[in-house]
Amino acid sequence: DQAREENRAVLLDLSREELQSHRPALVRELPRAIAAGELFMQYQPKVHVRRQEIASAEALVRWDHPTRGLILPGEFISAAEAAGSICALTLWCIKQVIHDQRIFAERGYDIPVFVNISGVLLADSEFVAQVCALLEGSSAKIGFEITETAVIRDPAIALKHLQQFADIGVPVAIDDYGAGLSSLAYLKQLPASELKIDKMFITQLTSSNRDPLIVRSTIDLAHAMEMEVTAEGVETPAALALLSVMGCDLVQGYLISRPLGRDAFLAYVEEEAHRKIAPVGLPNLRN
């Protein structure tokens, strides 16, 4: 058995090494991929529990690679951060979201869209200046999602840049809350209006003894600090029901909708708008 364990460890190491040796190569392709139009955004609705309507959407980047097929951000974001291409990638994402949002607006749907911003960019004054120039005075309704770890790395500079976003009316959500080490009291110093509880606490919500306590106290504390709370990773009607009782403001997850391409998202939004005329009680329960 020990030999088997050791073999497994070796295999794990090999695959890890293989991953690491392939990723830089993959990331070197990013500028070409952007120019060739291989990247695209998907949108996942965040639904307001009490109002039973779409409050906003999260934009998630995807890479349709010519030989490897669909690549999810988990495979290239951190490598892009390391390679210094995350700034160009993120600016592309923001511009694409502005473009797609204009199409939503032309169809009559004015939906704020939140873009994920890497922590490394929160320390990059040039990036922040470029983004502010892009968004200031524009009618785009863009928000940002940032992880707590991003802020801990250099709190002073992050705080300064987040304040710049707040000053031009860009809302900020704290993403993956609870997955890192920061306290909510500490994060409260940030000009953030939304707290997203990490999906690790939500997917097990109704099968764990511990998670409901954590989630409920986080919701209460965030409310006391005047933040809206979003639960990500809502996968079951039972989780949705419990979150609703706990007073969670927004829900996001496969139960409500998977992330969808622009046109599929628009179709989802239109369907929801028609359902509003004859509401049925709960957010759209389908995948």
Contact range with ligand C2E by CB under 6 A, out of 12-20, 47-55, 163-171, 228-236 = 228-236
Among 172, 209, 212, 195, which residue's Cα sits nearest to residue 252? 195
Residue from 45, 143, 171, 253 touching ligand C2E (CB under 6 A): that is 253
Residue from 46, 141, 161, 199 touching ligand C2E (CB under 6 A): that is 199
Contacts of 232 (CB under 8 A, 6+ apart): 176, 196, 197, 198, 199, 202, 252, 253
Q: Which two tokens stand for residue 68?
A: 């490897």
Q: For 15, how many CA atoms within 13 A lie in the half-sphere containing its CB?
A: 5
Q: Tell me the per-residue interface mask from 46 to 75 with ligand C2E, x by CB under 6 A, - otherwise.
A: --------------xx----------xxx-
Q: Are 113 and 58 in contact (CB under 8 A)?
A: yes
Residue 74 CB, shortest distance to ligand C2E, in Å, is 5
Among 266, 207, 259, which residue's Cα sits nearest to residue 232? 259
Residue 40 is a binding residue for ligand C2E (CB under 6 A) = no
Residue from 175, 211, 249, 272 touching Mg ion (CB under 5 A): that is 175
Indicate the residue whose CB is closest to ligand C2E.
Answer: 253
Residue 194 is a binding residue for Mg ion (CB under 5 A) = no
Residue 42 is a binding residue for Mg ion (CB under 5 A) = no
Residue 283 is a binding residue for ligand C2E (CB under 6 A) = no
d(CA 191, CA 171): 8
Closer residue to ligand C2E (CB): 47 or 246: 47
Residue 93 is a binding residue for ligand C2E (CB under 6 A) = yes
Neighbours of 109 (CB within 10 A): 17
Residue 171 interacts with which of ligand C2E, Mg ion, none, CB < 5 to 8 Å by class = none
Contacts of 226 (CB under 8 A, 6+ apart): none
Q: Which two tokens stand for residue 260?
A: 């969808």
Closer residue to ligand C2E (CB): 122 or 269: 122
Site for Mg ion in 256-275 (CB under 5 A): none
What pairs with residue 231 in β-bridges? 197, 251
Residue 165 CB, shortest distance to ligand C2E, in Å, is 15
Q: For 37, how many CA atoms within 13 A lie in the half-sphere containing its CB?
A: 0
Q: Which two tokens stand for residue 227?
A: 């933040």
Distances in whole angstroms, Cα of residue 58 to Cα of each of 19, 26, 31, 120 = 28, 25, 24, 20
* Chain positions contacting Mg ion, by CB under 5 A: 116, 145, 175-176, 232
Question: Which residues are near ligand C2E by CB under 6 A?
Answer: 44, 60-61, 72-74, 77, 90, 93, 116-118, 145, 175-176, 199, 203, 232-235, 253-254, 259
